[in-house]
Structure 1
């Protein structure tokens, strides 16, 4: 089984249903013809992720997720660090009238889909990303 880990920085948070979520992420990856070597989800605050965004990407804005692909060869098993701002997830869930856990799972799979090659720069890519997020979320049974 792949290494899928959950960490926190500057927040007090415990992910629920870790075993089920690990299997779900593995299944999403496998259904896209990829395997996972190591996924590290790091849950953090807005300010922590803003610092990461500024330091590593030269971006000066809040975001819900930043994904760092650690592979040199994209055909290799997935190895990545995914930083998720719980503040942004909570805010996005409120704006979309969604449950926090649902929005968190959407953001988690969003990062994985990027690692699987899905982009979301153009309106067409955004539409496809949303469809793939919804399809992936339908596989999660908690």
Structure 2
């Protein structure tokens, strides 16, 4: 199991990456989802917009795009793209630190790979509950 963080033409102030990798592994374990590999790519709005257009046929800005690459539904091999521009803007909107918002989006992507959806109001509410649960666990350790 390997978890990687990389940046594409943006600066990311992500500290304590070793601890975060261990926590993400624990998140997958708690959710009963195997984890083979996970790649987080931090990027700009424009880069993520191009991914959204090319792969999902969406012409909108978003904070995250998640791809499951494994053919085995019980084991995740995923790629998660996160717009640092959206993280910064959303942190201001929600009146939280950029670090907190970045972790929310990191956990959001992991939860998608564990099977959580957010298309309906009910799914979105459940996703927010899980995000809050893992944010609390992470920041209170």
Q: TM-score range by the shorter chain?
A: over 0.9
Corresponding residue number in structure 1 for 2:7: 8
* Aligned length in residues: 140
- The question of whether the paired residues in 2 share the 8 Å contact of 1:10 and 1:48 is answered with no
Deviation, structure 1 residue 119: 0.7
Q: Of 116, 119, 124, which aligns to 1:118?
A: 116
Deviation, structure 1 residue 35: 2.3
Corresponding residue number in structure 1 for 2:58: 59
- The question of whether the paired residues in 1 share the 8 Å contact of 2:28 and 2:35 is answered with yes
After superposition, the C-alpha distances for 1:6-55 in whole angstroms (9 at most, x for unaligned) are 01112122521101100110111100112211110000000000011111
For structure 2, list consecutive stretches of 5 or more residues without a partner in the other structure: none
Give TM-score, length-normalised by structure 1. Answer: 0.95
- Equivalent residues in 2 for 1:92-103 (5 A)? 92-103=90-101
Deviation, structure 1 residue 122: 0.8
**CA distance in structure 1 between the partners assigned to 2:71 and 2:35 by the alignment:** 14
Give TM-score, length-normalised by structure 2. Answer: 0.95
For structure 1, list consecutive stretches of 5 or more residues without a partner in the other structure: none
